[in-house]
């Protein structure tokens, strides 16, 4: 049973408990088939139920409104799985880039973890931006293009690029705070 939390009423806690008991095994098997790894599947099942619990606590979800629990679990778990794959891809790209440097640039395990956490935070920050805003921001930051060059590349007005950049910087500052 889930530990009692003052932000959840007893019926919500009971609903989560029932959802967990009735569907945990099924969800674990579904994720295990997707991943090919029972241990990773167990971690992602846990993450899925944590997300559901957080949504209930934030009152973004009323479990009694869920008519098809497995469809709902599949949706939430699918998002958790997509995030897992994105994080793994980001980590692999960083490790591949790191492997190109001489051994004298080796990073300690602590620094490696810190860098990976920062990369994940940056990725989440960029992912929160609308597509065109993110594209303009990355063209400026990674390719060093001017606003005029970005406007030409994206076939938009330079004024729009300025607006996109202001939006990107504002969003990034809000995420940092």
pLDDT digits (tens, 9 = 90+) for 122-151: 888 888 899 999 999 999 999 999 999 999
pLDDT band at 9 (very low <50, low <70, confident <90, very high): low
Q: What is the mean pLDDT of the chain?
A: 88
Q: Is residue 166 part of a domain?
A: yes
Instruction: Write down which residue in 71, 95, 119 finishes a domain.
Output: 95
Give the integer Cα–Cα distance in Å for 151 and 153.
6
Q: Is residue 70 part of a domain?
A: yes
Report CA-CA distances (Å) from 57 to 60, 65, 139: 8, 15, 39
Question: Within this chain, do residues 24 and 42 fall inside the same structural domain, yes or no?
Answer: yes
pLDDT at 1 (0 to 100) = 38
Instruction: Write down which residue in 95, 113, 128 finishes a domain.
Output: 95
Question: Within this chain, do residues 73 and 111 fall inside the same structural domain, yes or no?
Answer: no
Question: Within this chain, do residues 122 and 76 fall inside the same structural domain, yes or no?
Answer: no
Q: Is residue 27 part of a domain?
A: yes
Share of the chain above pLDDT 90, in %: 51
Q: Is residue 1 part of a domain?
A: no
Share of the chain above pLDDT 70, in %: 94
Structural domain tally of the chain? 2
Residue 88 host element (H or E): helix 69-99
pLDDT value at 8 more than 70: no
Residue 55's closest CA among 43, 72, 41?
72
pLDDT at 2 (0 to 100) = 41
Tokens of residue 149, six digits: 């060059």
pLDDT value at 5 more than 70: no
Contacts of 62 (CB under 8 A, 6+ apart): 56
Residue 60's closest CA among 97, 101, 7, 96?
7
Question: Domain range for residue 168?
Answer: 103-176
Q: Looking at residue 172, which CATH number applies to its domain?
A: 1.10.10.10
Q: Is residue 154 part of a domain?
A: yes
Question: Within this chain, do residues 43 and 83 fall inside the same structural domain, yes or no?
Answer: yes
Question: Within this chain, do residues 84 and 27 fall inside the same structural domain, yes or no?
Answer: yes
pLDDT at 161 (0 to 100) = 95
Question: Within this chain, do residues 107 and 154 fall inside the same structural domain, yes or no?
Answer: yes
Contact 7, 57 (CB under 8 A): yes
pLDDT band at 4 (very low <50, low <70, confident <90, very high): very low
The 10s digit of each residue's pLDDT in 71-112 is 999 999 999 999 999 889 988 988 888 888 888 777 888 988
Contact 52, 76 (CB under 8 A): yes
Where are the extended beta strands (E) located within 27-149?
none
Question: Within this chain, do residues 26 and 61 fall inside the same structural domain, yes or no?
Answer: yes
Give the integer Cα–Cα distance in Å for 160 and 162.
5
DSSP 3-state assignment of 25?
helix
Q: Is residue 4 part of a domain?
A: no
The 10s digit of each residue's pLDDT in 157-168 is 999 999 999 999
């Amino acid at each position: 049973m889930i530990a009692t939390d003052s932000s959840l009423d007893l019926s919500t806690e009971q609903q989560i408990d029932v959802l967990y008991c009735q569907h945990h095994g099924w969800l674990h098997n579904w994720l295990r088939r997707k991943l090919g790894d029972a241990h990773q599947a167990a971690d992602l099942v846990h993450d899925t139920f944590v997300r559901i619990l957080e949504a209930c606590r934030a009152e973004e979800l009323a479990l009694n409104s869920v008519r098809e629990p497995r469809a709902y679990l599949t949706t939430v778990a699918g998002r958790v799985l997509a995030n897992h794959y994105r994080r793994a891809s980001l980590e692999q790209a960083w490790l591949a880039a790191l492997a190109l440097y001489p051994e004298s640039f080796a990073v300690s395990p602590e620094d490696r973890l810190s860098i990976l956490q920062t990369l994940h935070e940056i990725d989440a920050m960029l992912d929160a931006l609308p597509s065109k805003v993110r594209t303009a921001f990355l063209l400026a930051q990674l390719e060093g293009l001017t606003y005029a060059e970005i406007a030409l590349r994206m076939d938009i007005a330079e004024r729009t690029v300025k607006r996109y950049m202001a939006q990107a910087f504002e969003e990034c500052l809000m995420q940092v705070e």
